[in-house]
Structure 1
Amino acid sequence: MKKSLVKLWPVAKYYLFSKNRVLILVVIMALLTTNCSGIVSKKNHSTVDKVSINYKHNLYKLKIGLVPTENPIEQERMIKALKEYLEQSVGGGLEIASQSKTIGRQTTQNTEEIENRQNAIAISLDFQIGKSYQQIIDLLVQGKLDMAYLGPLSYVEAVDRGAKIEPLVAAIDKHTGQPWYRACIIVKQDSPIKTLKDLKGKRIALVDKLSTSGYLMPLATFKKLGIDYQHDFAKVLYTGSHSKSLAALEDGIVDAAATNISSYFKEQKIGKLTRENSRVVWQSAPILNFPIVVSKKLPPDLIQKLKQALISSPEGLEDILGIESAGYTLVTSSDYASIEQLRKELNLISVPAK
């Protein structure tokens, strides 16, 4: 400020003794305004302050694993719609990138808006279809997944191996209106196989030793009937997915395929199997549907938002494990106690419970 006055003095001195005193004042004030505009504007309360606010988003990049129940191309197709829905629903449509906003007088409404955005949650989902049921379980045990779609048997296996996960929801089956499904064994319509005992000496496709409907439930029934699946069949083929088991039956590679009713219905729509050329030779009692699980390490508010988004999912959103769903319902770990008990009875526990 002092330097500015020193620079102004020659000008003032020049005009000091002139008759036009008004001109002197105008020149000085104009120059003062130019050089000290910061001081003037600070005292000018009528000026609109431009406050730049950086909205802090709680951005979570979640890794989601899927057991390979269906054809991977089909699962990839179904993932797209679910991914878009969850990211939009949980994130509330907020832009992930930070942004700024110009505001005038600070109001209660502005404050609330800022606080809401600073506390907002945004998610980015990365889905991974496992090469096997075992791979997804391994990743959960290692803490490398934040969320997963598991079968009931693979869920209890993961927990027993130490995975820190909890079930959120299970799909409601469109055909039953209930959150359960049935395991089944399918044969060709003209097959001589009429009962499960007729399977002796035949070729059968099982899905995976961690599959509930493609292994556990048929195995339990075989044991009750005195069928030794390791010795009584001409061939046991582990295909890795329900769609591959049904394809093996379609192509005549096996005489029977263990799967579930939902996968069988789906295959009738997209594959060669129809009600005219195939039939169900056996089906199980109801099994609680596949649980969607999350890591217990996730923040409680994020878990709650994911749970709410799934429960509120719109009609027609396909479940990416192949079930034709009519929404989701809440489930807890105790809901799968019967699967754990059956697993113990069949002596399928290969690792100590933790």
Structure 2
Amino acid sequence: MAYYQRKISIYPYPRLRTSLVLILTLFFLNMGCSSEENQTLSNPNTLAAGQNSAVGQQSKTLHIAVIPIQSSQAQAKQLKILDEYLEKTIRRKFNIHVQPDYDTAINLLVTEQVQIAYLGSLSYVKAKQKNPNIEPILAPINKATGRPWHTSMIIANSAHIKSVKDLTNKRFGFVSKSSTTGFLIPWVELFKKEEIDPDKTFSEVQFLGSHDQALEALIADEVDAVAVQQEAYFKAQSENKLPQAKYVKIWESSPLPTDPIVISSKLDQKLIYSLKKALIDAPNAIVSVSGAEIVGYTLVDDMNYEPIRQLQTKLDENTPN
């Protein structure tokens, strides 16, 4: 099988027996654990104290790294709006940049060159393993589900593929090895449930960099099927880029935690508080850096991403070096 290097070659993957549904149970049980802090953030007396204390901390610029999710031009426009909102609300200077790939965003946060990052679930887990002084604080609430979870999907050109069984000898596109919905989950689910060996099944594998780029490659007929997050698929559909007569969803995962906003725990706690408050109170059109439709943010912590950590651990245990 040819591995196309825009990208990173992928490795043989032994069968996993971990139940995705079982380990995700922990995620859903834990989503209710932050309700008390949510109530605190909505208390006007407490909020005033937190907001005022952060106003005095204006000496340093806060740097934010963002993983590439949509086209660079669209994402840059959205980040400019977010930058202006945060600077006005928190009264601090912000420097927000989309990074060229997932791993660059991870490394910037791990090495503390940035203090805040918009990461995927798997990229957060990888970053936490390298630097324990980071933590997730918020995750978006998906408009489609009304909850802080989404799914991974495999979208295919229906002229060549009608179901997962038709993937043999086809060209397949992932997003990044650090992408949850664009790599980890579909890879595990493909092998575990359908017993597909990518080395023997696909004629070519590409890693395409972002969810938008993966769908663009599918539309351009550079690949026959791609794994992407639910939001990217819905967004492309709403823009009439994926007509139902030509493209078909052939697989969808179990629910997964949405991508977190991650911070260095070395930041002043009052500043962290103000950041949470600002983003929870922000208009929906401002806070969505991915272009996906969301209905706000909810508080999360490390335990919300334990299911992803368990899957990644199982993957690493069964992958040869």
TM-score class, shorter-chain normalisation, is: 0.7 to 0.9
Could you tell me whether the CA contact under 8 Å between 2:138 and 2:276 is conserved in 1?
A: yes
Question: More relative contact order in 1 or in 2 (CA 8 Å, sep 6+)?
Answer: 2
- State the distance in 2 between where 1:258 and 1:330 align: 27
Matched residues in 1 for 2:163 and 2:130: separation?
Answer: 37
Q: Distance in 1 between matches of 2:137 and 2:293?
A: 19
* Secondary structure at the counterpart of residue 87 of structure 2: helix
CA distance in 2, matches of 1:322, 1:243: 10
2: distance between equivalents of 1:56 and 1:205? 48
* Counterpart contact for 2:137–2:262, Cα < 8 Å: yes
Residue 318 of structure 1 deviates from its aligned partner by: 4.6
CA distance in 2, matches of 1:309, 1:56: 16
Pairing partner for 2:230 from 230, 236, 261:
261
Where 1:237 maps in the other structure, the secondary structure is strand
Q: 1:65 to 1:339 in 2, by over 3 A?
A: same
Partner SS, residue 145 of structure 1 = coil
Runs of 4 or more, structure 1, over 6 Å off, are none
Structure 1 residues 56, 268: CA separation in 2 closer, same or farther (over 3 Å shift)? closer
Structure 2 matches for 1:97-116, cutoff 5 A? none
Are residues 145 and 214 of structure 1, via their aligned partners in 2, closer, same or farther at CA, if it must alter by over 3 Å? same
After TM superposition, list the pairs within 5 Å mapping 1:129-168 onto structure 2.
129-162=98-131, 164-168=133-137
Contact 1:207/1:241 (8 A) holds in 2? yes
How far off its partner does 1:348 sit? 6.9
Larger radius of gyration: 1
Instruction: Give the TM-score normalised by structure 1.
Output: 0.71
SS at match of 1:346: helix
User: Are residues 1:218 and 2:181 paired?
Assistant: no
CA distances 1:199-247 after superposition (whole Å, capped 9, x unpaired) = 1211111000000011001111122121112332001011111111101
Question: Residues 64 and 57 of structure 1: is their aligned pair in 2 closer, same or farther, counting only changes over 3 Å?
Answer: closer
Shift of 1:349: 9.4
Counterpart of 2:159 in 1: which secondary structure?
coil
Which residues of structure 2 form unaligned runs of 5+? 1-54
* Aligned-pair CA distance for 1:268: 2.3
Contact 2:137 2:299 in 1 (8 A): yes
Alignment deviations for residues 145-164 of structure 1 (CA, whole Å, 9 cap, x no partner): 11000000000000011252
Question: Where does residue 235 of structure 1 map in the other structure?
Answer: 204
- Say if 2:87 is the partner of 1:87: yes
* Structure 2 letter corresponding to 1:338: P
Partners of 2:279 and 2:287 within 8 A in 1: no
User: Which of 309, 328, 335 pairs up with 2:297?
Assistant: 328
Quick check: 259-268 or 332-341, which moved more? 259-268
One-letter amino acid of the structure 1 residue matched with residue 310 of structure 2: Q
Q: Distance in 1 between matches of 2:159 and 2:140?
A: 34
> How many Å separate the matches in 2 of 1:319 and 1:226?
36
Residue number in structure 1 paired with 2:138: 169
Overall identity of the aligned pairs, in %: 38
Amino acid at match of 1:196: V
**Aligned-partner Cα distance in 1 for 2:141–2:268:** 26
Verify the 8 A CA contact 1:318 1:324 in the aligned structure 2: no
Cα distance in 1 for residues equivalent to 2:143 and 2:243: 19
CA distance in 2 between counterparts of 1:169 and 1:298 reads 15
TM-score, normalised with respect to structure 2: 0.78
Distance (Å, rounded) in 2 between the aligned partners of 1:286 and 1:344: 19
> What letter matches 1:307 in structure 2?
K
* Structure 2 Cα separation of the partners of residues 333 and 246 of structure 1: 30
Q: Please identify, of 229-238 and 287-296, the stretch whose mean Cα deviation from structure 2 is larger.
A: 229-238
- Aligned partner letter, 1:320: V
Name the counterpart of 2:306: 337
Match of 1:125 among 77, 87, 94: 94
Q: What is the rounded CA distance, in whole Å, between the counterparts of 1:249 and 1:184 in structure 2?
A: 13
| Paired AA for residue 267 in structure 1 | A
Q: Does 1:251 align with 2:232?
A: no
The 1:63–1:69 alpha-carbon spacing in structure 2 relative to 1, beyond 3 Å, is same
- Partner of 2:61, secondary structure, is strand
Root mean square deviation, CA, Å: 1.9
